[in-house]
Amino acid sequence: MFEESITPMPASSPSGARVLAPEGEPIEFIYNGRRFHIHAIVSRWRESGGWWNRISDGKNRVTESTIFDDGARAIWRVEAAPEGALTTFEIELDEVTKTWLIRPTSRPQ
Amino acid sequence: MKSFTHLRVASGYSFKYGTAHADQLVERAAEFEMSALALTDMDTMAGAIRFTKSCEANGIAPILGINLSFIQKKYRITLLAQSGHLDSLYRLVTAVNLENSENLLTHSLLERFSQYSKNLLVLHGPESQLASAISARKSAEALSIYNATRELFADQAIECVSHLIRGDGQFSTSHAARALGFARDNHLSAVLSNAVRMLDRSDGPVADVLDAARKLVPLSNKSVSRQNSEAYFKDSSEMSYLSDEISRLAGERDGRSLLNTTTAWAERALLSPRKDVGIGAIHLPDAAALGAKSQGELTAQLRSRCEAGLSRRYVGSKSVVAASRLEEELSAIRTLGYESYFLTVADITDLARNRGIRVAARGSGAGSLICHVLGISGVEPITHGLLMERFCSPLRGELPDIDIDVESARRLEIYDAVFEKYGQRCATVSMVETYRSRHAIRDVGAALGISPMEIDLIAKSMPHIRSSNIPKALANLPELKDLNLNTPILKMAIELAGRLDSLPRHLSMHPCAIVLSDIGLGDYAPQQINASGYPMVQFDKDDVEAIGLLKLDVLGVRMQSAISYTLSEIERIEGAALDIDAIALDDPATFDLIKSARTLGIFQIESPGQRELVGKFAPETFNDLIIDISLFRPGPVKSDMITPFLATKYGLRVRPVIHADLESILQETQGVVVFHEQVIRIISTMTGISLAEADEKRRELGDIASQQLVCDWFYPAALARGYTSTVVAEVWEILRAFASFGFCKAHAAAFALPTYQSSWLKTHHTAAFLAGVLTHEPGMYPKRLILDEARQWGIQIAPIDVNLSDATYRVEKSSKETRAPYLAPNVLSSGAELKLPDARGFAIRMALSDIDGIDGKEIKSIISGRPYLDLADFVYRSGASRPTTESLLTIGAFDDLHKLSTSNINRRDLALHLQDLYRLAGSKSATSQGQMSFELQPEKFEPSGLPDITASEQVKSEIDILGMDVSSHLLEFYGDFLNKIGAVRSCDLIKHRSGTSVLVAGVKVALQTPPVRSGRRVMFLTIDDGHGCNDITFFEDKQADFATVLRNSWLFLVRGEIRRTGPRGISLLGTGAWELANSHEKWRNLAVYGASGT
């Protein structure tokens, strides 16, 4: 049910969103110009796979450590708020490019 | 933080599933400072011993278990052996493998074998039926599943696993949390695992390829089930973090309780590598297996059998020496407690002999007098200076290794006899097939959907190497120049193939090893049934040695079958049995044959290289044969030990005497160190240590690191005994250089025995021996060459005859005139004369089994219908198919029956008659097999007036149908041409001077391009011309011009320069090679042109 309400990534953040994660786990982030503080991690998961597809697509991102772009991502579903009501976000770390993506899964009030 | 213990770990022994080697996992656990680790492979325990050894080396306590299908194929659980109860796990795993065709653990199996399961712990993980009920929120059902096995296991736990999968399915955190909640609700134990299948997160792609290879599908989003790479070997803090997450989601404050239970369960399953797994133990067959009541009785049995054997084999002064040696050996065996070892091996060789199967021991076992007097080994060890210490000594903490060679055709009969007698005490041994480059490339290519042609090209051109060497190999293969290996997909494929390197792929049966133990074998190793239907321990040969089981290699040797066949033919023809094992080893005629280098068909010395060597060496004694075999190995050849040896033997070099004490040791090999036994004696003589201790030093010499230690010890030890520093230095230099090249003399002696026996048989029963060689094909040469060899000794080659030919080659007495047997020319310098066999008066009858397309049933039916009156009778009764009958007719199998040689009908008439017969039968009702029932006899057949087939047509059909030329040698058709151009027959080469350039011709026997000392490629061509073989060497400078002809032709005209290498050694240095038919054609044209021109 969350999936339906995901809004697309703002086109204005091509180099990734700004997320504060000193120990690897996000604490704060900036979304739409506003700083959000994470109150709770609702769940987290990791995804990877499909490396073989990226060869034929030409989308294979080769890094120093591996030629396999397995599309590894770590995702946290969090409750965060600048002020007022809590909002649920998914914060995703693309582990290949080390860039962050943020998508709200419920609309900020 | 306390260290975590992984209770669920799949290694590469989970075939095509686990991506990590067992020892890599152990090393990682050690790195993470974990104190214990479990190995729970899927469906097998094949990695248990290697894993345990690695644990012991890394100071980690091993836990052993297995992951099995339970109740249904799709549900899996993990079993762990409780401390002290590994045997129960082995027994249950064996029961699952032996009693259930799908290797499925069922309730009824558990009930039947509850005496074992009661000692086991079980983990109900995410793939269990229990977890699936919890996941479906059917708590009551889940509980009843738990209760159904409550009494059958020592204890059960809910296994919580989170691979951080999104959502709430299997391997998600919420799935794990619900399982934990269920456990808490029902007061059941819950443990945490990570269901490990890889070492690192980055191993995901390797796991995918293995999954694809296992399921035989290419990689696609549909076929891959892996959603992330979390099934890797996490460290304690990562596991603790996971434990917190799962526990909190289940409503607990933190993960401490879950971790504590996991630790407690690990502690219940810790095993001792020595006490539980049995590393370093010894479990030889028990006294009862050998008909004794106690160890004491075994000792007495061994002694009395040895003494009986001794008095049969030794007389006079020799028996005194032998008796004292026997005492020494018996006392060593007693110290070691190996009585049952020797008695068991002797029992098995007896089992074979009682069935009339030939047996010979191979390897260092021939050094033991006990092996000889018990009849295990035929070589007499004392005369040949063979040492027991090289084979077995109290200083070595390992079981000795005896291999026995048996008739290849009857090898499995011995297995059957052993299994019948030893039952539960024996099993076959497994062999782990691992990924090598070719397989790795194929599996990766198939997974990635690379075009089969490309993969095939890469795989086929791949030498048999470790797959981690693939990139280097590919860069150097000229065949692959046109392939762009830098495309992303090929680069990835090659990288992946490298990552599959040496991962286990499959468990198969070791081709020749069996293990024997006491009645408790089932407690020491889990078993399964192998593809041949024999019980097989899941451990390989190194594993079974590590846990002290008696491993016996029973090797099938075709020469033993050929010897056995020869003996039976001799008995059939001569009417008297021959005991080949009792012949004297000094027969001059036998050594004359060997010296003549006409050794085709003889064990070990028939190859071109060996023929050259025996020609140079001219062995005159059995000991010479032992030396010959020891010298003909890559090491001595490479380091050129042969040249100084022969130079001394022929007086071209004065043998250096290092020290008088070493003379008796080095004399037999002209001062060159050839044997391990010599090294042992030298060390012992110069330092005063015992032979057993000296053998330990010899072993250390083989290793560069410990070589220095031996050196540091040897110098002072030898100097202290009064040897001068020059002598010590010189001897040390020899010992050091020798380390890599020496050979075990006992091993060579064991090989020399069948070499001598086969030489003796070839000398005195040439026809019977060659019939044996033709029937069992022990050697490297094609049959047509052996046939030709037979002709050269004056043997008639009798064609296939429907009334006379058998399934195998038979010897017949024959009065037909044949050519005069080969005579070796005398050596001009010494006048030495060789007495060679004359086998005139014998014929070898060609065998039915050589007909192309014939099968065993047909042969049997043809033989049982004999004798046949005529062709019609044969067609009617023999049961032979039409193609077989036509083949038989074409090669002349009915010629004698229809007396074609004396009548006016010929083979073409016979062929027409056969067609009439089939037409007639076809007009009635022909059966589908091409057989028929006759009611009408065809009209009597008359000569049709067609010309008879020519000799060359005959040979052509023989090549087509039998694959060899029988009626005449292929080269005879070129006789005129070859005479005119002055080609030299191979047997006449020796009459020419060294350095002469000659033309020779022949049929290709072999073309070899072995690696040689200089690293330059050399091509060795062997051709035969009906008078023997020519061996021609082509060096690199000639290969550019002639390599293609050498590779692609069959009949050759060759120009070469003669090289004399010894009294009878001769070889040709190739300077040109042409296709014979082409040369012939050119010559004919030239002759015609020349004739018209004059």
pTM above 0.80, yes or no: yes
Beta-carbon contacts of B29 under 8 Å, excluding residues fewer than 6 positions away, are: B6, B37, B58, B60, B233
Cβ of B219 under 8 Å from any chain A Cβ?
A: yes
Q: Return d(Cα B1031, Cα B637) in angstroms, integer.
A: 18
CB contact under 8 A, B164 and A66: no
Longest dimension (CA), chain B: 116
d(CA B737, CA B715): 16
DSSP tag of B717: H
At B970-1004, the pLDDT tens digits run: 888 888 899 999 999 988 888 888 889 999 999 98
pLDDT average per 10 residues of sequence, chain B (1094 residues): 92 96 97 97 97 97 97 95 97 95 91 96 97 95 96 97 95 96 97 97 94 92 89 97 96 96 97 96 93 93 96 91 95 93 95 94 92 94 93 85 92 95 95 90 91 80 62 64 73 86 92 94 95 94 94 95 97 94 94 93 92 89 94 78 84 84 89 90 94 92 87 94 93 83 91 96 97 94 91 93 95 88 69 83 95 92 93 91 93 90 86 87 52 51 78 84 85 88 88 90 84 68 88 84 84 91 80 90 76 42
Q: Nearest by CB to A51, from B165, B205, B227: name it.
A: B205
Residue A28 bridge partners (DSSP): A20, A37
Instruction: State the CB neighbour count (10 A cutoff) for residue A105.
Output: 18
CB contact under 8 A, A46 and B230: yes
- Judge whether B761 and B786 are in contact, CB under 8 Å: no
Q: So what's the pLDDT on residue B423?
A: 93
Contact B141, B165 (CB under 8 A): no
pLDDT of amino acid B478 = 59
Q: Is the ipTM of this complex over 0.85?
A: no
End-to-end CA distance of chain A: 18
Candidates B330, B383, B314; CA nearest to B749 is B383
Residues B673-693: b if buried by 16+ CB within 10 A, e if exposed:
bbbbbbbbbbbbbbbebebbb
* pLDDT for position B939: 57
Q: Cα(B206)–Cα(B18) distance, rounded to whole angstroms?
A: 9
Alpha-helix runs per DSSP H in B149-203:
173-185
How far off is chain A from B209, nearest CA to CA, in Å?
10
User: What is residue B1036's predicted lDDT score, i.e. its pLDDT?
Assistant: 80
> Smallest CA–CA separation between A62 and chain B, in Å?
10
Distance CA B1064, CA B1066 (A): 6
HEC secondary structure over B320-379: HHHHHHHHHHHHHHHHHCCHHHHHHHHHHHHHHHHCCCCEEEEHHHHHCHHHHHCCCCCC
At B1040, list the tokens: 């550019």
Residue B644: CA count within 13 A, CB half-sphere: 13
Buried-state track B1006-1015, b at ≥16 Cβ within 10 A, e below 16: bbeeeeeeee
Q: Return all residues near B884 (Cβ < 8 A) that are at least 6 apart.
A: B851, B853, B854, B858
List phi, psi (to 5°) of B37.
-155, 140
SS3 B80: strand
A-interface mutation test, from B224, B228, B232, most A Cβ less than 10 A away:
B228
Please state, in angstroms and as integers, the Cα–Cα distance from residue B1005 to each residue in B253, B804, B1002, B1025, B1060, following that order: 81, 30, 9, 10, 22
Cβ of B229 within 8 Å of Cβ of A72? The answer is: yes
Please identify among residues 37-66 of chain A the ones whose CB lies closer than 8 Å to any CB of chain B.
43-53, 55-56, 60, 65-66
Å from A28 to nearest chain B CA? 20
Contacts of B483 (CB under 8 A, 6+ apart): B454, B457, B458, B490
Contact across the interface for B204 and A45, Cβ inside 8 Å: no
Contact A55 B228 (CB under 8 A): no
Token pair recorded at residue A35: 């700083």
CB distance B758 to B769 below 8 Å: yes
Q: Does the beta-carbon distance from B228 to A51 stay under 8 Å? A: no
Q: Which amino acid is at B467?
A: S
Task: Say whether residue B636 is in contact with chain A using an 8 A CB cutoff.
Answer: no
B204 CB within 8 Å of a chain A CB: yes
C-alpha–C-alpha distance, residues B972 and B880, integer Å:
33
pLDDT at residue B1088, rounded to an integer: 65
Reference B776, options B754, B793, B794; nearest CA is B754
Cα separation of B418 and B426, whole Å? 8
User: What pLDDT, on a 0 to 100 scale, did the predictor assign at position B926?
Assistant: 44
CB contact under 8 A, B219 and A60: no
The DSSP secondary-structure symbol of A93 reads E
Question: What pLDDT is recorded for position B692?
Answer: 92
CB contact under 8 A, A68 and B205: yes
For residue B791, count other CB atoms closer than 10 A to its CB: 23
**Cβ under 8 Å to A: B residues 477-516:** 488-489, 491-492, 495
Asked if B392 and B368 count as a contact pair (C-beta separation under 8 A), the reply is yes
Please check whether residue B847 is in contact with residue B809, taking contact to mean a CB–CB distance below 8 angstroms.
Answer: yes
Q: Looking at the complex, does the CB of residue A28 fall below 8 Å from at least one CB of chain B?
A: no
- Residue B861 structure tokens: 């039916």
Beta bridge partners of B1056: B998, B1070
Torsion sign, CA atoms B207, B209, B210, B214:
positive
Which chain A residues are Cβ-neighbours of B202 within 8 angstroms?
65-66, 68, 70
Q: How close A50 comes to chain B (CA, Å)?
A: 7
